[in-house]
Amino acid sequence: MELLAFGDTGWGDELFRATLMTIAVSITAMIIGFSFAAIFTPFKLSKFKSLNLIANIYTTVIRGVPELLVIYLFFFGGSGAIMFVASMFGYNDYIEINAFVTGSFAIGIISGAYSTEVFRGAIQSIDKGQFEAAKVLGFNKFKQFYKIVLPQMLRLAIPNLSNVWQITLKDTSLISVTGLVEIMRQSYIAAGSTRDPLFFYSFAAVLYLLLTFISMKLINKLEVKYSRGY
């Protein structure tokens, strides 16, 4: 137990900070994922075949390729790509992007592919009559989306989004390979310096279980909130 003490003697405070880092990366990645979903869901539902194709390539490639490979692409290729863009604007110095940005971007793109599929499914399962009723009432597109589509879509999407959240939370363990100090990386460091890997990796497992347990409880509350009236 003294291994988990706070302060200089134990790893308690380091692991606590690492847990906060995991939460921060997961939430950032989820938000980045939603932004990608906000772009690609309309593409998927679009009348134009070319937009459909772009969205389909995005979701198929990301969901068919291992997360670790995507992370390596960003880790090794990220600063190169940024430097290439910067060089077009005449900036030629070496740019290093930090592990937090690379990591949340890589996980965010993965999470976005799953979110896109969830939102597409949710919008498609809204009754057609709802759209027609909105049109009859003279709602414009913007109002139709915010007042009719969005509330119903959220209700249908929340159970599946909770799965996406779980996947995203667990995927953040993979960005430990880039050196970002989250739960997995901190356990690796602690296990290395104390030669007690069994304890620290088991403790990491407990931390992840705790995170998934708490987030499930919170999501269930959200679910109840959005399904009132049903």
> In the complex, which residues of this chain contact other proteins (CB under 8 A)?
60-61, 63-69, 72-73, 76-77, 80, 166, 170-171, 173-174, 176-177, 184, 187-188, 191, 195-198, 201-202, 204-205, 208-209, 212-213
Contact call for residues 44 and 112 (beta carbons, < 8 A)? no
- Nearer to other proteins by Cβ, of 14 and 126: the residue is 14
Least gap, CB of 208 to other proteins (angstroms)? 5
Residue with smaller CB distance to other proteins, 161 or 174? 174
Q: Going by C-beta distance under 8 Å and a sequence separation of 6 or more, which residues neighbour residue 47?
A: none
Q: Which is nearer to other proteins, 6 or 76 (CB)?
A: 76
Give the Cα separation of 136 and 89 in Å (integer): 50
Cα–Cα distance between 224 and 99 in angstroms, integer?
Answer: 37
Q: In Å, how far are 128, 137, 230 from 133, measured between CA atoms?
A: 9, 6, 19
Q: How far is the CB of 123 from other proteins (least distance, A)?
A: 21
Give just the sign of the alpha carbon dihedral 101, 102, 107, 109: positive
Q: How far apart are the first and last CA of the chain?
A: 49
Q: Which is nearer to other proteins, 65 or 222 (CB)?
A: 65
CB 41 within 8 A of CB 118: no
Q: Work out how close the CB of 218 gets to other proteins at its nearest, in angstroms, rounded to a whole number.
A: 15
- Supply the minimum distance, in Å, between the C-beta of residue 173 and other proteins: 4
Question: What single string gives the DSSP state of each residue in 36-56?
Answer: HHHHHHHHHH-S-HHHHHHHH
The smaller minimum CB distance to other proteins, of residues 136 and 198, is found at 198
* CB proximity list for 102: less than 8 A, separation 6 or greater: 74, 75, 78, 175, 178
Nearer to other proteins, 77 or 179 (CB): 77
Rounded least distance, CB 73 to other proteins, Å: 5
Residue 209 Cβ vs other proteins, minimum distance, rounded to whole Å? 5
